[in-house]
């Protein structure tokens, strides 16, 4: 409940592209799901509570925010002295550094040229011409006649807290039970076979995250597999993450379609574009990128002090930026 209240406060801090990026980063880290955060942003845009340009910037930040939870899991495993830390950090640093690289590409493009906003506006113009979009809210209203009655009884703040709480509870349960399934010895050969080929790894990430709409959860599931020795640092992790990032856009698409708003669909198109363009850039660079990741993971796993410094910086930078915006009012 505290996390949801903090997330709402962070969203209210958004005033420009930079604050939107860091708000997306911190907000997603708090609720552990970029899809959930992006769906909130879509709702804000549809209701007119957030300008389009700030919405797309916050979605960009959410891509990096979704890496916080898996990274912290690896850090906790290191503190506990678990084995195969190199493989575990290979998973989390692939996730972190890929999203950091895409942030470094798209943030200047949006800040100076409005690249993502242009995509959203062009997408909105396309969806304005789609008559079926306006019909979706009416269909949902007919299919769920009890919702307006419930919403009339429950205060908005309580509804937000309850909805976010159920989402986090569901994601936690999924993570727990899927981890148990993945850790079954009978599953290990299938998992190894999947991650030995780039295309298989990509498809697995895409399909799993379509079913379980949280990149955070689906990457976090790989960490116990890495520490248990099922996945080594030589396996193809980057394609899995690229597929997972694309797979997680579908829950945002559903949220945007439910509004019936072409602008909300334009915001969803930004989410999709970031992940598709990122995949097209980094799949050809998979081998050199993976070598850099492996070298970095070996150094981080061997040095708890370096891990502590990275952890502090990773959290201190966005928190400081948000705090400065809060103090500025």
Confidence of residue 273 (pLDDT cuts 50, 70, 90): very high
Helix-strand-coil percent breakdown of the chain, rounded to 5? 85, 0, 15
Tens digits of residue pLDDT in 237-263? 999 999 999 988 888 888 888 888 888
From 204, 282, 213, 275, select the one nearest 246 (Cα to Cα).
Answer: 275
Tens digits of residue pLDDT in 99-145? 999 999 999 999 999 999 999 999 888 887 777 677 676 666 655 66
Residue 14 contacts residue 54 (beta carbons within 8 Å): yes
Confidence of residue 329 (pLDDT cuts 50, 70, 90): low
Q: How far, in Å, CA of 283 to CA of 277, rounded?
A: 10
Question: How many angstroms separate the most distant Cα atoms in the chain?
Answer: 58
Rama region for 189: left / alpha / beta (φ>0; ψ in -120 to 50; rest): alpha
Least confident of 41-55, 100-114, 180-194: 180-194
Angle at 277 between CA 21 and CA 241, to 5 degrees: 80
From 167, 178, 234, 173, select the one nearest 204 (Cα to Cα).
Answer: 178
Q: Is the pTM of this model over 0.85?
A: no
Total Cβ atoms within 10 A of residue 12: 12
Q: How far, in Å, CA of 190 to CA of 184, rounded?
A: 11
171 pLDDT above the threshold of 60? no
């Amino acid at each position: 409940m505290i996390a949801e209240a903090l997330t709402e406060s962070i969203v209210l801090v958004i005033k420009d592209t930079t604050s939107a990026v860091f708000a997306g980063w911190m907000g997603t880290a708090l609720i552990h799901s970029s899809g959930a955060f992006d769906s909130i942003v879509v709702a804000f845009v549809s209701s007119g509570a957030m300008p389009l340009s700030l919405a797309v910037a916050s979605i960009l930040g959410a891509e990096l925010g979704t890496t916080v939870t898996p990274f912290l899991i690896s850090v906790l495993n290191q503190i506990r002295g678990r084995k195969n830390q190199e493989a575990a950090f290979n998973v989390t640093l692939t996730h972190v550094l890929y999203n950091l690289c895409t942030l470094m590409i798209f943030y200047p493009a949006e800040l100076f040229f409005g690249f993502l906003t242009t995509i959203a506006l062009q997408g909105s113009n396309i969806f304005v011409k789609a008559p079926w979009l306006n019909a979706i809210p009416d269909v949902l209203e007919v299919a769920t006649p009890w919702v307006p009655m419930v919403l009339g009884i429950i205060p908005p703040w309580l509804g937000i807290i309850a909805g976010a709480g159920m989402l986090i509870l569901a994601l936690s349960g999924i993570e727990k039970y899927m981890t148990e399934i993945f850790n079954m010895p009978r599953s290990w050969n299938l998992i190894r076979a999947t991650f030995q080929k780039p295309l298989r790894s990509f498809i697995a990430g895409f399909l799993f995250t379509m079913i379980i709409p949280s990149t955070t959860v689906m990457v976090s599931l790989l960490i116990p597999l890495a520490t248990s020795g099922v996945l080594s640092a030589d396996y193809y992790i980057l394609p899995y993450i690229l597929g997972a990032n694309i797979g997680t856009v579908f829950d945002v698409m559903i949220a945007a379609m439910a509004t019936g708003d072409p602008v909300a669909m334009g915001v969803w198109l930004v989410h999709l574009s970031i992940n598709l363009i990122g995949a097209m850039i980094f799949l050809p660079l998979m081998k050199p990128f993976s070598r850099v990741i492996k070298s970095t993971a070996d150094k981080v796993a061997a040095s708890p002090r370096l891990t502590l410094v990275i952890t502090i910086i990773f959290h201190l930078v966005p928190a400081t930026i948000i705090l400065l915006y809060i103090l500025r009012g």
